[in-house]
Amino acid sequence: MADALLIDCDPGIDDMIALLVACAGPELDLVGVSTVGGNAGLARTTRNARAVLALAGRADIPVAAGAARPLVRSSTGFGAHVHGEDGLGGIDLPTPPGGPDPRHGAAFLADSIRAASRPVTLVAIGPLTNIALLYATFPDAAARLARLVVMGGSVGTGNITRAAEFNIWWDPEAAHRVLTDPGVEVPTTQVTLDLTLRCTLPDAAVARLRAGGPVGARCADALDFYGRAYREQGSGDVTPVHDAIAVLAALRPELIRSRPARVLVDTTTGAERGATTVEAGRAGPVAVADDGDVPALLDEVVRRLSRLDR
């Protein structure tokens, strides 16, 4: 039996791609999903996570809603400018029957880790609020994690501001807790914008997905919206599948290149708020993954999405 995988997310179009890539397995077995506000409000990201899992035929995977707001300071707004008001580019996936797990996302993660009879990897692809709450409230459970993979931060420039990447910017205090001062020993990989911005699906790949079946067609529709949003904000003809790369860092770590670093997060209220930096010349507890085999990673994304339409 494969090791267990938990995902904390804020779907979000690239979160949708990431969840579907995770469902295509087989290296890790997705056993639970928690949600956080970010790309859209919490009710939306939770609904979207359940709808995306149902699209993959995995409505059996429990989803628990976590934090709606950052720990300390509320950022202004969500990611609607990139992901649409509904968070999924208006593709309007059907809502599966039933509802989310009644537990708070952080408690759900803790219970899922404690209940696991095999190693658990947690992949965080939204703001880190739930992970910080897990570390602060349930350190015994957090300490049992085999690995944490985070999509967030950058070594170079940001995307939501010149300095900061969106997931970190939305809750910098949470990111400080998780990346700089965790209080628990969890092998952590930080997949940064420096790699993920290079991971954009070519039009031909999106066309192949569209022709492949219902799952690929919904992904193509969402990616069309995503690409238009990036073009309209002057970012060029790109559809960076940030979150899917973080999931692949857990499924296929050999495709990612990282180096040990001590990561610092700017938690001031100035222009650099949410920026992540690595202390020069110092190894540290976090493996910063700012490079990888981009063609192979993109092939893996398309191959796994296509597998869901077979």
Active site residues: 242
Least Å distance, CB 191 to ligand RIB, is 10
If one asks whether residue 126 binds Ca ion (CB under 5 A), the answer comes out as yes
Q: Which does 79 bind (CB under 5 to 8 A by kind): ligand RIB, Ca ion, none?
A: ligand RIB
Residue placing its CB nearer to ligand RIB in the complex, 50 or 212: 50
| Residue 15 binds to Ca ion (criterion: CB under 5 A) | yes
Q: Does residue 12 bind Ca ion (CB under 5 A)?
A: yes
Q: How far is residue 210's CA from residue 224's CA, in Å, rounded to a whole number?
A: 11
**159 contact, one of ligand RIB, Ca ion, none, CB 5-8 Å limit per kind:** ligand RIB
Min dist CB 96 to ligand RIB, Å, is 21
Backbone φ and ψ for 111, nearest 5 degrees, come out as: -65, -40
What is the footprint of Ca ion within residues 231-250 (CB under 5 A)? 243
| Residue 225 touches which member of ligand RIB, Ca ion, none, C-beta under 5-8 Å by kind | none
Query: Which residue number, 165 or 300, has a Cβ lying nearer to ligand RIB?
Result: 165
Cα-based torsion angle of the residue sequence 162, 165, 166, 167 in order, rounded to the nearest 10 degrees: -160
In whole angstroms, the minimum distance from the beta carbon of 144 to ligand RIB comes to 25
Compute the least distance from the CB of residue 240 to ligand RIB, in Å: 8
Report how far residue 165's alpha carbon sits from residue 192's, in angstroms, rounded to the nearest whole number.
8
Using CB under 5 A, count the residues that bind Ca ion.
Answer: 6
> Whole-number minimum distance, CB 177 to ligand RIB, in Å?
18
165 binds, among Ca ion, ligand RIB, none (CB under 5 to 8 A by kind): ligand RIB
Length of the chain: 310
| Identity of the residue, 116 or 179, whose beta carbon is nearer to Ca ion in the bound complex | 179
Cβ closest to ligand RIB, residue 56 vs residue 116? 56
Nearer to ligand RIB, 133 or 168 (CB): 168
Residue 308 and residue 23 in contact, taking contact as beta carbons nearer than 8 Å: yes
Chain residue at closest Cβ approach to ligand RIB: 166
Sites of contact with ligand RIB (CB under 6 A): 10, 12, 14-15, 38-39, 79, 125-126, 151, 159, 165-167, 242-243
Nearer to ligand RIB, 10 or 266 (CB): 10
What is the 3-class SS of the chain, one letter each residue? CCEEEEEEECCCHHHHHHHHHHHCCCCEEEEEEEECCCCCCHHHHHHHHHHHHHHCCCCCCCEEECCCCCCCCCCCCCCHHHHCCCCCCCCCCCCCCCCCECCCHHHHHHHHHHHCCCCEEEEECCCCHHHHHHHHHCHHHHCCCCEEEEECCCCCCCCCCCCCCHHHHHCHHHHHHHHHCCCCCCCEEEECHHHHCCCECCHHHHHHHHHHCHHHHHHHHHHHHHHHHHHHCCCCCCCECHHHHHHHHHHCHHHEEEEEECEEECCCCCCCCCCEEECCCCCCCEEEEEEECHHHHHHHHHHHHHHCCC
Interface residue with Ca ion, options 16, 21, 24, 125 (CB under 5 A): 125
Minimum distance of ligand RIB from residue 77's CB (angstroms)? 13
51 part of the interface to Ca ion, by CB under 5 A: no
Cβ neighbours of 156 (radius 10 Å) = 11
The yes or no reply on residue 8 touching Ca ion (CB under 5 A) is no
Q: Which residues bind Ca ion (CB under 5 A)?
A: 10, 12, 15, 125-126, 243
